[in-house]
Chains A and B, each alone.
Chain A
């Protein structure tokens, strides 16, 4: 039937649309965590002699993206009573339509670039670019600071897709460094969100518009 790596990429794409169409914050966080699990399985699905390094990377990704990050976000939200996104600039249907446009663009760009090696799945470039664009979309059209973090996570998932498939070439140290940076970054973002909630009593970033020219 379909190779496992392509199926994983398809599920990642479906996850993108789920995030775009969702309105509950906890649901979107779970979807990005699920995408993290899928990403972790990707190098194991592509490179068939499973090396110790590949296994370490896969498990590290799954643990960090699938387990640790959602808990960091949940911890950051513990004082904020935010569960739903209120009135994003782009409604769920329009966001999903924009996501479709992003998918079309991703596929077109994927066709434009020269062919990948046969070991890499064909959908890779399209999925990665689409996920990056969807993450960008969520980041720019949502008002709650927490949802912007979810958009950033989606963007990172898209970029990390590439890293996962290049797992043999990028040294393990670097990939671990990338994961660590992501973890610390989200941790700091969570910290700022927590303080934002304390200081402004809301996570609506429309209230963060006092500094401007």
Chain B
């Protein structure tokens, strides 16, 4: 599959994933839930609406959703879909990857702070706390992968060498997969970290960032979150289901099926666990980091 096709597929499939997760939760809790295409309809609806800005906000507030989406798309461009090379690749691009994710979070947080409301301040501190623990964990996971596959670009870390690495250093790869799974829940603001269906302000983390935006801005934020979900999902699929050299159709199917499977798993986790207490979130993220560092230590012996 060519890189462009994979990238486009990722972007198109992105809004589907939250819907699949929500559908899984609904099915497990005895409801029918919203339709699978609901996020697409939401996006179209929001794009057509007008937008309202607070009087105290500046250009930062307007730029935040754009930066959020652009950084997510940029990071997605670095992710190798279906074992092929990514759209953009160069040695050392894991740093760019992490940096883009951090930039997006930073921009969104600044936009929220720009509203001058204390509620957004609270949300911003929570969001940055998650970021400050999740990003080092992500670094460690990428570092362990680099040790295992001896690669220096995301396409090498998640690409062809993974299959061979499972046979030799499978334990470390298992640790990293588990760690990235835990990080997906944090970065995509799902699962036990952040309940996406909550309506209680004091339990929100990511929704606080999105609360004041409206219309197209909100659409950009929702879509950006979905893209982040999708790109982490693609990374997990690359790790857990290494398969290179497939035909275009097979690779497309693999990516699609894999992403849906990840979304279903997320749904299962979400429906079986209550949201973690805020005190526990750093412990959770540090555990993800420790799993990854365990994998690294096993490689260094």
Contact = CB atoms under 8 A, between A and B. Distances in A.
Interface of A: 1-2, 6-7, 10, 13-14, 17, 21, 92-93, 96, 100, 103-104, 107, 110-111, 122-123, 126
Contacts of A100: 290, 293
A187 to B, nearest CB: 33
A107 B300 contact: yes
B46 interface: no
Interface stretch (B50-58, B78-86, B165-173, B218-226): B165-173
A21 B175 CA distance: 18
B37 interface: no
Query: Which of A13, A14, A122 lies at the interface centre, i.e. has the most chain B CB atoms within 10 A of its CB?
Result: A14
A103 B297 contact: yes
Given A1-B166, A6-B171, A93-B283, A111 B290 contact: no
Interface residues of B, number: 18
B196 interface: no
Contact of A93 (B166, B171, B286, B291): B286
Contacts of B167: 1
A14 B288 CA distance: 12
Given A1-B166, A1-B170, A93 B282 contact: yes
A103 B301 CA distance: 11
B171 A17 contact: no
A122 B175 CA distance: 18
Interface of B: 166-167, 170-171, 174-175, 282-283, 286-287, 290-291, 293-294, 297-298, 300-301
Contacts of A122: 301
A103 B287 contact: no
A93 B298 CA distance: 21
Contacts of B294: 10, 13-14, 17, 103
Given A1-B166, A111-B301, A96 B171 contact: no
A2 B287 contact: no
Contact of B171 (A10, A21, A107, A126): A10
A1 B167 CA distance: 5
B239 to A, nearest CB: 14
B276 to A, nearest CB: 13
B170 A107 contact: no
Q: Which 5 A-B pairs have the closest CB atoms?
A: A1-B170, A2-B170, A2-B171, A107-B301, A10-B171
Given A1-B167, A103-B297, 17 more contacts: A1-B166, A6-B171, A7-B171, A10-B175, A10-B294, A10-B298, A14-B291, A17-B287, A17-B290, A21-B287, A92-B283, A93-B283, A100-B290, A104-B297, A107-B300, A123-B298, A126-B301
A135 B294 CA distance: 18
Contacts of A104: 297
B175 to A, nearest CB: 8
B5 to A, nearest CB: 32
A84 to B, nearest CB: 13
Nearest to B171: A2
Given A2-B171, A10-B171, A13-B294, A110 B287 contact: no
Contacts of A1: 166-167, 170
Nearest to A22: B283
